[in-house]
Amino acid sequence: MTIQMALPLMVATTVSWGAPIPAANIDPTLRDAVELSARGGLPNVFEKLKAGKAVKIAYLGGSITEQTGWRVQSREWLQKKYPAAQISEINAAIGGTGSDLGVFRVEADVLKHKPDLLFVEFAVNDTGASNERIAKAMEGIVRKTWRALPDTDICFVYTLTAKDTAGLAAGKMKQSDSIMEAVADHYGIPGIHFGLEVARLEKEGKLVMNSTDAAMTRVSGEELNVSAEMPADSQGRILFSKDGVHPLPETGHVLYIQALMRSFDKLEGVGQPGSHPLAAPLTLDHWESARQIPLGQCGVLTGDVTKLDPTAGIAKPFVNRMPAMWKFGPGATVKFKFKGTKVSVYELLGPDGAKLSMSIDGKNREAMNFDAYCTYHRLGTLSIGDKLEDVVHEVSITVLPDAPDKANILFAKNRPDLEKNPAKYAPTNWYAGAVFIVGEIVE
């Protein structure tokens, strides 16, 4: 089955630098669905590619970018298109995370590597987040990047889920895409939507978003031929994914990379190479001042606290994202002060998760470091306070001795793991590595 990939594209080039407004007042109007808004283009990257220079590409996003899919395929395609260039990749994607984590980790995970191009992909994981939060975080990512690396080009990319196709086919982007496009407009950043062709094919009955077809196989980027016919079902329909979210590398991700290829062909020649000006802010309360500070540099740790060896055990798989990690047992406490408007803690969730008692400015509440997915350990954030008054705040977090009701919290499909491995779930520990604040630590 041969797929024809031809959609008319609208190219926007407007940049608007008006007076900053509160993030809550960002225009919520849904944007018209277009595959490419070129704006200021990616002139610095193209100049380096054509000159055969070394080019570093960073990918900041969630699980769709973390997959061996469009991220790998885009780098390989560009290497073939510009064989004299030396293209390398910075994989800064973490599954299940959105722009509100991305803005805190962009310096450690991306900017320290000095990329020439930064792709930002968070629209799926930001679905359901407030317009205000999305605008603050995305603007923070842009401003942090161009404050540190003004010659780095940025490109926003938008992926989709099965829930998004009807709106796209009807001609509108969803809310998270639209808010991100408002930020892109202001700073002249290109936006590429990977999902328009997917939505069109589904509407025409040529594609199925969800499939459990066991015959689908995973291929590496090296084996991928983006010009070949795509695997299809007995009715000749493309099988996009198994879950309606994560594209199959030989189908959904091929459609994604073809959208990027079409867009890059149109972006070549757009804009003039040079440093990106850091315009006046779009929003008054953006998160450029978002900081990630290791617990050992900002907090007083007491009780059953152990700093873990980053080269072994539970800390080792996460060392690239969380270089320092502490294990807190029952009764252990961390206390710190900061001046700012938002605070959370970079943590691990997992089967040995705990109940926590949190206090900010003397106001107490409980939280759980355990959820329905906790058959394994993964990175996450513990939110403590947001939209705070910009004054000094005092924070205290203590691990409680009583365990969460883990059997009732887990999804039914995950409970057999607890029944089979009760010792894995018995401890009550909290693993944390850093404080995230919009503001500054107070000694």
| pLDDT tens-place string over residues 377-400 | 999 899 999 989 999 999 999 999
Tokens of 93: 């994607």
Domain ranges of the chain: 23-267, 290-442
Residues 6+ apart with CB under 8 A from 411: 372, 373
The answer as to CATH 2.60.120.260 being correct for domain 290-442 is yes
* CATH among 3.20.20.80, 3.40.50.1110, 3.30.70.2740, 3.30.930.10 for 23-267: 3.40.50.1110
Question: Mean per-residue pLDDT for 319-344?
Answer: 94
Who has greater pLDDT, 12 or 322?
Answer: 322
pLDDT, tens digit, 9 for 90 and up, residues 79-98: 999 999 999 999 999 988 89
Rounded-to-integer distance, Cα 138 and Cα 182, Å: 10
pLDDT at 2: 30
Instruction: Determine the average pLDDT of the residues in 294-298.
Output: 90
What are residue 133's phi and psi, to 5 degrees? -65, -45
Instruction: Report residue 28's pLDDT band, with 50, 70 and 90 as the boundaries.
Output: confident
User: End-to-end distance of the chain based on CA atoms, in angstroms?
Assistant: 65
Q: How far is CA 113 from the centre of its chain?
A: 18
> In whole angstroms, how far apart are CA 173 and each of 41, 243, 296, 369, 442?
21, 21, 43, 34, 42
Minimum mean pLDDT range among 9-13, 17-21, 340-344: 9-13
SS3 229: coil
Q: How many CB atoms lie within 10 A of CB 419?
A: 9
User: What is the enclosing helix (H) or strand (E) of 60?
Assistant: strand 54-61
Quick one: pLDDT band at residue 3, thresholds 50, 70, 90? very low
In the chain, % of residues over pLDDT 70: 91
Beta carbons within 8 Å of 374's beta carbon, 6+ residues apart: 349, 350, 351, 353, 406, 409, 410, 414
Residue 137 has pLDDT above 60, yes or no: yes
| Kind and range of the H or E run holding 137 | helix 131-148
Main-chain phi, psi angles of 198, to 5 degrees: -60, -50
Give the pLDDT band (50/70/90) at residue 250: confident
Q: Which of 97, 98, 96, 78 is nearest to 88 (CA)?
A: 78
State residue 220's pLDDT score: 34
Whole-number average pLDDT of the chain? 90
Mean pLDDT to the nearest integer, 161-171: 96
Residue spans of beta strands (DSSP E) within 331-377: 333-349, 355-360, 363-368
